[in-house]
Amino acid sequence: MEAQEAEHLLNHLGIPDPFSSRYSPRGIFCTRTLNLRSISAIGYDMDYTLMHYNVAVIRGLVIDKEKGNLVKADRFGYVKRAMHGTTMLSTQTLSEMYGRELVDLRKESRWEFLNTLFSVSEAVAYMQLVDRLDEGAIATDLGPLDYKGLYKAVGKALFRAHVEGQLKSEIMSKPELFVEPDPELPLALLDQKEAGKKLLLITNSDYHYTEKMMQHSFNRFLPNDMTWRDLFDIVIVSARKPEFFQMAHPMYEVVTGEGLMRPCFKANSGGVYSGGSAQMVEKSLGIQGDEILYVGDHIYTDVSQSKVHLRWRTALICRELEEEYSALVHSRGHRTTLIELINQKELVGDLFNQLRLALQRRSKGRPAQTLAATHMDDKELNESIQKLLIVMQRLDNKIGPMMESDGELFNKRWGFLSRAGLWDKSHLMRQIEKYADIYTSRVSNFLHYTPFMYFRAQEQTLAHDSYSFHHPNHQDADEEQ
């Protein structure tokens, strides 16, 4: 009764309950239970985490540097879709090329996982140049190149553009052309700060870029002449992640607006620093491990490394989730029809197999599994088998194109971000579940919750489960609870 009263009060205040927030494109999804009350400090990455750039792409694919292919794998590493250069490969070619191979991300010399939106631009350039290489149109001054050498050349060219500052100076000159503003984001951080959380900014970007871009993205949305600097207890630029989480580097304090630095050994509240290490941050704050939540967009650099080396709690930002969620909702009818057809084929296929077994037993002079099958004559058995073959072929003709088009509402070539095929999770989703305690589309989604939220992981179903709390037959029981 008291729980019901609380629910009525939430409704009266016009606040959605936390469970309804979970079922929305802007929800925060939990893979490992996380109590925000036990979090003392929250660290944030900047690019694609606190700041989103205008992009229209998909991450989670893998480059095969040996074959010049871009592939999508399921959670076990089996390749489900692939393209060579800019041409999608047929199912048969896929089977011939990858039938005996698994994607193994530990073999870095061959596989490159596109786990950030930064890496996608590299893949786009590379796949177009694979076409050029196949045509013999790559400049001879680069020397004889195979697909692996070509990937290295593309990486060098993009790295040079970053290091020389061409890209960043263009973005800084007109940030409004590149950055998608989010007025709710600074307010979400303000709630966390006022709730007593120490906020940290830990970015690989340099001081001048960080200052300019944070000023553009935050200051106009903060109250009472606050600036972005007032939100953060510690700001660390040029952090050199993932090394930042793995080893100690010298730390420098930024002491002037022009970016002049001096060596230091401890970070103080309100300071801006360059370099250093995660251990230095823990020492300066007097907290460590699972008291710190780190929020970033990079599965490896941000999430897995802070989790593996320091046992920090982790949150992954994946903007594509919003579009994916909507596409999944709009695909429900398509998927329901597809599953019905697959179930029909399974039923027909089972009958076909039973009749086939009856024929097999008969040829050995043994009775069929049932009296009715034993009494069928050879002609009747063979005719039934032929009819069932025709029905299965018709079902296949319907199922095939529907399987091919599954997920095209999200991405016409690659399907859903989180799925690989109808039933299984993608390789990216497996990485997210493994390393991210919670994941969501943008940092401002925290505004729909409180800084004291208890995120509870959902029930994990197993293949042999006989009972599910979400089964339609148990709907009444759910409502009573």
30 belongs to a structural domain: no
CA–CA distance, 358 with 362 (Å, rounded to integer):
6
Q: With contact defined as beta carbons under 8 Å apart, do 181 and 26 qualify? A: no
Which H or E element spans position 341?
Answer: helix 332-363
pLDDT on residue 164: 67
State the DSSP code for 299: I
Q: Where are the alpha helices (DSSP H) in 46-146?
A: 91-98, 117-135
102 belongs to a structural domain: yes
CA–CA distance, 22 with 433 (Å, rounded to integer):
16
Domain stop point among 173, 208, 243: 173
Tokens for 129, please give them.
Answer: 């140049």
144 belongs to a structural domain: yes
* DSSP-derived 3-state class of residue 137: coil
CA–CA distance, 109 with 64 (Å, rounded to integer):
9
167 belongs to a structural domain: yes
pLDDT on residue 15: 72
Q: Record the pTM.
A: 0.83
User: Left, alpha or beta for 196 (phi > 0: left; psi -120 to 50: alpha)?
Assistant: left
pLDDT on residue 468: 54
State which amino acid sits at residue 8: H
Domain stop point among 126, 154, 173: 173
- Smallest CA-to-CA distance from 373 within 404, 397, 351 is with 351
247 belongs to a structural domain: no
Number of structural domains the chain divides into: 2
CA–CA distance, 406 with 424 (Å, rounded to integer):
13
Tokens for 145, please give them.
Answer: 């190149």
CA–CA distance, 104 with 431 (Å, rounded to integer):
13
In our burial notation (b when 16+ CB lie closer than 10 A, e otherwise), range 308-340 reads: eebebbbbbbbbbbbbbbebbeebeeeeeebee
CA–CA distance, 35 with 39 (Å, rounded to integer):
7
Maximum distance among all Cα pairs of the chain, rounded to whole angstroms: 95
Domain stop point among 154, 173, 192: 173
pLDDT on residue 429: 92
What tens-digit pLDDT sequence spans the chain (481 residues)?
A: 888 888 788 777 777 666 666 678 999 999 999 999 999 999 999 999 999 988 777 788 999 999 999 999 999 999 999 999 999 999 899 999 998 899 998 899 999 998 777 788 889 999 999 999 999 888 767 777 899 999 999 988 888 877 667 778 888 999 999 999 999 999 999 999 999 999 999 999 999 999 999 999 999 999 998 999 999 999 999 999 999 999 989 999 998 888 889 999 889 999 999 999 999 999 999 999 999 999 999 988 889 999 999 999 999 999 999 999 999 999 999 999 999 999 999 999 999 998 888 888 888 888 888 777 777 888 888 899 999 999 999 999 999 999 888 888 888 888 898 988 888 899 999 999 999 999 999 999 999 899 999 999 888 888 888 765 555 444 443 433 3
221: number of Cβ within 10 Å? 16
Bridge partners of residue 313, in order along the sequence: 293
Contacts with 301 (C-beta within 8 Å, 6 or more apart), sequence order: 116, 204, 241, 242
pLDDT on residue 479: 38
392 belongs to a structural domain: yes
- Strands 79-84 and 234-237, by their bridges, are unpaired
Range of the domain at 87: 62-173
- Strands 438-440 and 313-317, by their bridges, are parallel
pLDDT on residue 252: 94
76 belongs to a structural domain: yes
- Strands 292-296 and 41-44, by their bridges, are parallel
pLDDT on residue 22: 65
343 belongs to a structural domain: yes
Q: With contact defined as beta carbons under 8 Å apart, do 235 and 272 qualify? A: yes
State the DSSP code for 459: P
